[in-house]
Amino acid sequence: MNWRATRFIVFETLESSFSYLDAIAFAMVFGAVLFNWPETVVIASGTFGVAAAALAPLQHRRIASISNVRYFAAPLYGRELARAFALGPCITLAVFSGGAIFLYSLLRHRAVSQYGWMVFGTLVSAEVVATLIALSGCFRAGQQRVLYAVLAMIAGIAIWMLGVAGTPLTLVCAVLAAVAIGFAALRALGETLARYDPVDDLTLSAP
């Protein structure tokens, strides 16, 4: 395992991992928890966040960032690239979640309630899974890419719904499901990268 390469790729791809839609979703959930809005608002906000994470394959900025030929020219296995590509979005989501919890504590002058912890934990789990599945779609085209986005959305929303009740038991169930699906998605991303032929950046007009 080449940790230097992993660290380098994470730093290089971190900027493109940032998504305004994710940030908005976390802000909405944060607002809903802070002001004790109805549960339907929390559910809708989280669903919006998961959908935003699942739309990664349709974001040109992210595709361009991770399909750069220099990564594929380096002596790295597909699984090493997969881990490095997955770490950036996971770090971003963790920062969003941590930021929301910190802001909550700052504004309310007290620790986040158990419900708040459970909701944010579930949202991060769901978004990580959606992102990991969606990343495989970045290396596909056309209908396949859309199918991966839909699959990511379904898996993410399922985990979100599993844990949105905000009890320790539902959080454990959501996290366990997220770990199982996320692990499979990461392996699939590694396989995808090992088989990927980076030629999409070469246009017909090449001299």
Residues that bind other proteins (CB under 8 A): 2, 4-5, 7-8, 12, 68-78, 194-195, 197-199, 201-204, 206-207
**DSSP calls for 74-106:** SS--HHHHHHHHHHHHHHHHHHHHHHHHHHHHH
Least separation in angstroms between residue 198's CB and other proteins is 6
Q: Report phi then psi at 202, rounded to 5.
A: -90, 115
Least separation in angstroms between residue 164's CB and other proteins is 41
Q: CB nearer to other proteins: give 94 or 141.
A: 141
How buried is 68 (Cβ within 10 angstroms: 0-12 exposed, 13-18 middle, 19+ buried)? middle
Least separation in angstroms between residue 22's CB and other proteins is 25
Do the Cβ atoms of 59 and 193 come closer than 8 Å? no
Q: CB nearer to other proteins: give 22 or 80.
A: 80
Q: CB nearer to other proteins: give 74 or 107.
A: 74
Q: In the structure, how many helices (H) and strands (E) does the chain have?
A: 9, 0
- Any idea what the Cα angle at residue 178 is, between residues 172 and 23, rounded to 5°? 100
Least separation in angstroms between residue 8's CB and other proteins is 4
Q: CB nearer to other proteins: give 12 or 39.
A: 12
Q: CB nearer to other proteins: give 106 or 204.
A: 204
User: At how many degrees (to 10) do helices 20-34 and 78-108 cross?
Assistant: 30
Structure tokens at 19: 């998504």
Q: CB nearer to other proteins: give 169 or 200.
A: 200
Least separation in angstroms between residue 84's CB and other proteins is 10
Compute the radius of gyration of the chain from its Cα atoms: 18
Least separation in angstroms between residue 47's CB and other proteins is 35
